[in-house]
């Protein structure tokens, strides 16, 4: 399934973005109020400049005892970003995020302008039902093939009994 076909992606509100010159405090306020785990940082033309997530707040701000009221987002945001396109496959991104240990992926258009963001949580809500239905199919297939084996063994036993009875 493509990102753009995902219901969560289409129904999401327009993402809140901040500017590189905003303070870390601004990001903390919005992330707390809106209960979100990341904020994208946009340039004037709405192209993506960076991202800041809870992990950055912990490792770059709290751990290094930086003052959120005086630290600009440009000082702590991640700029070496992996970004997705609307037509990308969801499961490919789930794999990339899992392998490379990050949980957010900004979705941009061909000019790198921000369209939205997908979090690992959004992807998981897709993959769980998918996973359960695959498990069901596997269990059914295993049961069906197990049933066939029992039938074959039973038929062989019956055949052996009949042959020994005739002879
Ligand atoms: P997360 O697991 O999303 O909280 O992010 C862990 C680290 O990876 C943080 O330093 C983030 O700034 C960074 N990060 C998050 N999303 C991306 C992304 N799409 N591309 C590159 N780095 C990212």
> Does 155 fall in a domain?
no
Whether residue 101 is predicted with pLDDT greater than 70 in this model: the reply is yes
Domain assignment present for residue 166? The answer is no
Query: Ligand 1 centre and the CA of 156: distance in Å?
Result: 60
State which residues form the domain around 45: 3-124
CATH number of the domain encompassing residue 68: 3.10.580.10
- Which of 105, 143, 102, 72 has its CA nearest to residue 6? 105
First to last CA, the chain: 63
Residue 100 resides in a domain: yes
**72-89 residue pLDDT tens:** 999 999 999 999 999 999
What's the rounded Cα separation, in Å, for the pair 23 and 86?
30
User: Is the minimum distance from the CB of 42 to ligand 1 under 6 angstroms?
Assistant: no
Query: In angstroms, what is the span from residue 39 Cα to ligand 1's centroid?
Result: 11
- Taking the centre of ligand 1 as the mean of its atom positions, its distance from the CA of residue 68, in whole angstroms, is 19
Output the CA 165–ligand 1 centroid distance in Å.
Answer: 74
SS percent in the chain: helix, strand, coil, step 5: 55, 20, 25
Q: Is residue 148 part of a domain?
A: no
The pLDDT value recorded for residue 148 is 73
Q: Indicate whether residue 119 lines ligand 1 (CB < 6 A).
A: no
103 within a domain of the structure (yes/no): yes
Q: Is residue 165 part of a domain?
A: no
pLDDT value, residue 111:
95
d(CA 22, CA 31): 14
Query: What is the mean pLDDT of the segment spanning 17-31?
Result: 98
For range 17-41, the mean pLDDT: 97
**Structurally, how many domains does the chain consist of?**
1
pTM of the entire predicted model: 0.77
Residue-level pLDDT at 143: 67
d(CA 155, CA 163): 12
- Which is more confident, 9 or 67? 67
Residues 123-151: tens digit of each pLDDT: 776 666 666 676 677 777 776 766 677 77
Higher pLDDT, 24 or 165: 24
Separate counts of helices (H) and strands (E) for the chain: 6, 5
Judge whether 17 lies within some domain: yes
The predicted structure's pLDDT at residue 7: 74
Atom of ligand 1 nearest to the CA of 82: 20
Residue 112: is its pLDDT beyond 80? yes
Domain assignment present for residue 137? The answer is no
């Amino acid at each position: 399934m493509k990102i753009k076909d995902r219901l969560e992606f289409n129904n999401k509100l327009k993402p809140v973005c901040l500017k590189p010159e905003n303070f870390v405090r601004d990001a903390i306020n919005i992330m707390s109020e809106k209960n979100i785990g990341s904020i994208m940082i946009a340039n004037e033309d709405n192209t993506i400049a960076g991202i800041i997530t809870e992990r950055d707040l912990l490792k770059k701000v709290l751990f290094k005892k930086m003052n959120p009221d005086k630290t600009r987002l440009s000082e702590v945001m991640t700029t070496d970003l992996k970004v997705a396109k609307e037509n990308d496959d969801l499961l490919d991104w789930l794999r990339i995020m899992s392998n490379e240990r990050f949980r957010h992926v900004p979705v941009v258009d061909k000019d790198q302008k921000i369209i939205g963001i997908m979090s690992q949580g959004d992807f998981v809500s897709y993959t769980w039902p998918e996973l359960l239905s695959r498990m069901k199919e596997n269990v059914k297939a295993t049961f069906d093939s197990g049933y066939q084996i029992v039938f074959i063994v039973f038929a062989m036993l019956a055949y052996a009994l009949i042959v020994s009875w005739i002879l």
